[in-house]
Amino acid sequence: MHYAKSCVRARADAYGVCKTNERVLNEANKRRSLVRTIRKRQATFLGHVMRRGKLEHLVTTGKFEGERSRGRQREKIMDGLATWLGPGKVSDILAAVKDRDLWRDMIANAYKQGT
């Protein structure tokens, strides 16, 4: 991917044209995939942790005792994955995690859509 971007940039520089990263990616027929890859790995890890149901389960869902920290609340992994996986509540996602095949299909569909 880096080579394709550099070739397109070199061709543009020869003509003295400035191009944005988005335009170079479009001409090379590539898409940004880092965020999608991170979300996919988070989702597979979440499925693994939720099926185990130990301490990591409590930390991931945010249901542990103690006082809230001050300031702006941090975004939970579950909230980020709920928006990435599509319309649905966190409770629906927690129910889907129990069925491994359904969970894999949800991750694959969200990854293909590129959201």
Q: Please indicate, yes or no, whether residues 5 and 57 belong to a single structural domain of this protein.
A: no
Q: Please indicate, yes or no, whether residues 27 and 40 belong to a single structural domain of this protein.
A: no
Closest CA to 62 of 80, 37, 48, 44: 80
Q: Please indicate, yes or no, whether residues 50 and 26 belong to a single structural domain of this protein.
A: no
Q: Please indicate, yes or no, whether residues 86 and 38 belong to a single structural domain of this protein.
A: yes
3-state secondary structure the chain: CHHHHHHHHHHHHHCCCCCCHHHHHHHCCCCCCHHHHHHHHHHHHHHHHHHHCCHHHHHHHCCCCCCCCCCCCCCCHHHHHHHHHCCCCHHHHHHHHCCHHHHHHHHHHHHHHCC
In this predicted model, what pLDDT tens digit does every residue of 50-101 receive, in sequence order? 888 777 766 666 666 677 777 887 777 777 888 888 777 777 888 888 888 8
Assess whether pLDDT exceeds 60 at residue 114: yes
Question: What pLDDT is stored for residue 113 in this prediction?
Answer: 78
In this predicted model, what pLDDT tens digit does every residue of 22-44 receive, in sequence order? 888 888 887 777 888 888 888 88
Q: Please indicate, yes or no, whether residues 8 and 46 belong to a single structural domain of this protein.
A: no
Q: 83: domain range?
A: 34-113
Q: Please indicate, yes or no, whether residues 45 and 77 belong to a single structural domain of this protein.
A: yes
Assess whether pLDDT exceeds 80 at residue 106: yes
d(CA 110, CA 113): 5
Q: Please indicate, yes or no, whether residues 106 and 66 belong to a single structural domain of this protein.
A: yes
Q: Please indicate, yes or no, whether residues 58 and 101 belong to a single structural domain of this protein.
A: yes
Q: Please indicate, yes or no, whether residues 90 and 56 belong to a single structural domain of this protein.
A: yes
Q: Please indicate, yes or no, whether residues 55 and 109 belong to a single structural domain of this protein.
A: yes
